[in-house]
Amino acid sequence: MSPTQFASRTFDYLVVGGGTAGLVVAARLSENPGLTVGVLEAGPAVLDEAEISVPGRYGQSLGGKLDWCFETEPQPGLSGRELPWPRGRVLGGTSALNFMTWNRASRQDYDAWQELGNEGWGWEEFLPFFKRSETFHAPAEQLQQEHKLFYDPDTLGTEGPIHVGYAAEYSASHRLWHDTLHSLGVETNKTHVGGSNVGVWTNLGSVDPATVTRSSSATAYYLPNASRPNLFVLTDALVTEVVLSKADENSEWTATGVRFRHGDDEFLASATKEIIISAGTVQSPQILELSGIGGAEILSQAGVTAKVNNPNVGENLQDHIMAAMIFEVDPSLPTPDDLQHDTLAAAAAQKEYQESKSGPLTILPNSMAYLPFSATLPPSVLANLATQAADLTSFSLQNRTIRHARLSPSSNLGQIEYIFDLGNWSPSFRPPADGKKYATCLQILQYPFSTGRIHIQPGPDNVPATAADKPRIDPRYYAGAAGALDLEAMTHCAAFADRIVKTKPLADIVRGRVYPPPEQGLEEWIVQSTITDWHPVGTCAMGGRLGVDGGVVDERLRVYGVSGLRVVDASVMPLQISAHLQATVYAIAEKGAQMILEDAVVRG
């Protein structure tokens, strides 16, 4: 379909963003043949790229042509470093570029959203939408016993579009992971997607076992429905603003369409019912601000006429922060690095994958553990963090109460995530060419106190901001009193990471820690090595009982102050969760689509 043909149609619903959430919404709405649904995606349709589809090639698309290649502002808390912030610029969005991790947070995380006043978002109400998105494939009994592949079938979906399951092959270190954590008093969690992720477990992945390829929103929600006569998807289409109109000065603004660019030309597409923005935590607030919805001062500075004043747009940014500790390991172990440096090994792996869909190119990082601070921090340190958290004034009272309660010694939440895998995962460690092999222990802070912001800004010479300009991303890692809590927690959790890898049986394959070197202090290393774990949320948050004073959308994801406009993606999450985001974003989109259809019935 050409952009002219797309713009000539009048749609019932227009979805801005054909990514993880947007394609879910479009697929569910277009199940009704009486509705016409259009999707505008800024990236191309790439459905047969090996860097995307082959599981073991995870990460190879980052920083390339299918990545928006965003960067943060210089971060004082990270010694002035600017961090890459990968996001998918392709049909399927970030679901086409991520590492295929499939997990859920604990029930308390979703209940916290409801506690803020967002009715219907607690664990019990939200679980059906997790299940609706997925088809779980049970592992063979022999694999289940060998690799500790436990699950509760009652908590998993069996008829959803996304294929999820346990891998058939594992890294050579995985067989040591559970027993190592057991030696530290951490038990295996046999129902890790059933309402608590605390413990050690083997991770699920979004991989279709029939083809052993990535299951993304493009392959699962779009391709099976691409022939629907009422579903229209236009790629390489950059939305520049949502068109707002009002009947008179006293009426509310209404979203009636969007402007978009395709090549050098600009077009206008119209919708009679709703516009749904699913552009993600970075670009959903960007599009709102470019449309005149946001803080008046921000909009004025960027040269945009203000229509709806809401200073919460782009605020409340929360991200998981990560550090990668590197260890030298037994040189006989096969690692993913071998495929990067050994052409014969790479060719053999490619041949095995093509012929039997097996071998190194099917292996994902699956050794995971989520632990409460009470298991990783000295009691005195945890008590000190709780005291400091109680004094923070940068959050609403209810928000602060929830965050403070998580620091109770009795709190059984996954405050810190550990992942161990063979290979060097650190962008900071450059190993010498000496033939040695390495492994990585990742530590990822799940409930950061640091909060940041994402806003549009004028171009050079104060030219008004446009959709082609990258927004200003300022996560404020380790900044201020809140950030100091994160830095202290990460420093102590690094000591526990070191302890994990020095514990048998994992220690039997480890030759010693090489990064950080023994002479470097852990706090200094944390500052110099922390990066994003690619899980930003919150910039168009649900306001709960505070309403427009506390967020950007209501509990039905409708933008405050504008009719016919919603946001459906990770940006609506009011509080960060202890989990990789993918499965939760699919569930948000499933729930969002149902609410859109429900509200259409109410309106008649």
Which positions are annotated as active-site residues?
535, 580
All residues at 6 or more sequence positions from 544 whose CB lies less than 8 Å from its CB, including other chains:
113, 116, 117, 118, 398, 550, 551, 555, 574
At residue 566, φ and ψ (nearest 5 deg) are -130, 165
Owner of token pair 């912030």: 85
d(CA 414, CA 391): 23
Question: Which residues sit in the known binding site for FAD?
Answer: 90, 94, 239, 534-535
The answer to whether 454 and 472 are in contact (CB under 8 A) is yes
SS3 assignment, position 137: strand
> Which segments within 509-596 are labelled E, that is strand?
510-515, 531-532, 562-563, 565-567
Helices (H) and strands (E) in the chain, counts: 18, 27
The answer to whether 496 and 186 are in contact (CB under 8 A) is no
Question: Which residues sit in the known binding site?
Answer: 90, 94, 239, 534-535
Tell me if the bond preceding 505 is cis, omega within 30° of 0: yes
Element (H, E) at 51: helix 50-53
Q: Residue 45 half-sphere exposure, CB side, CA atoms within 13 Å?
A: 12
d(CA 187, CA 502): 18
CA distances in angstroms from 207 to 94, 220, 349, 515, 562, listed in the order given: 15, 11, 18, 32, 39
d(CA 552, CA 569): 13
d(CA 406, CA 484): 17
CA distances in angstroms from 91 to 45, 85, 279, listed in the order given: 5, 18, 12
CA nearest to 216, candidates 102, 105, 319: 102
Owner of token pair 């409930």: 447
CA 554: distance to chain centroid? Answer: 21
